[in-house]
Amino acid sequence: EELLVITDDNAYWLDDDLPHVRRWRRRQAERAQAVASVRAAA
């Protein structure tokens, strides 16, 4: 469940460990590893 807290002068996620954020981070790490592997093989 995602909860966005909105105040008069700020907005933030109540929980910053959200499933889609974890998925983005995991995919970014996988891409970085793939790029490093290609560079190492070259």
Domain extents for the chain? 16-42
What pLDDT sits at residue 15? 83
What pLDDT sits at residue 35? 94
What is the C-alpha to C-alpha distance for residues 37 and 42, in angstroms, rounded to an integer? 9
How many alpha carbons lie under 13 Å from residue 37 in its C-beta half-sphere?
A: 6
Encode pLDDT of 1-42 as tens digits: 788 999 999 999 888 788 888 999 999 999 999 999 999 998
What pTM, to 2 d.p., does this model score?
0.57
CB 42 within 8 A of CB 34: no
How many alpha carbons lie under 13 Å from residue 18 in its C-beta half-sphere?
A: 12
What pLDDT sits at residue 16? 75
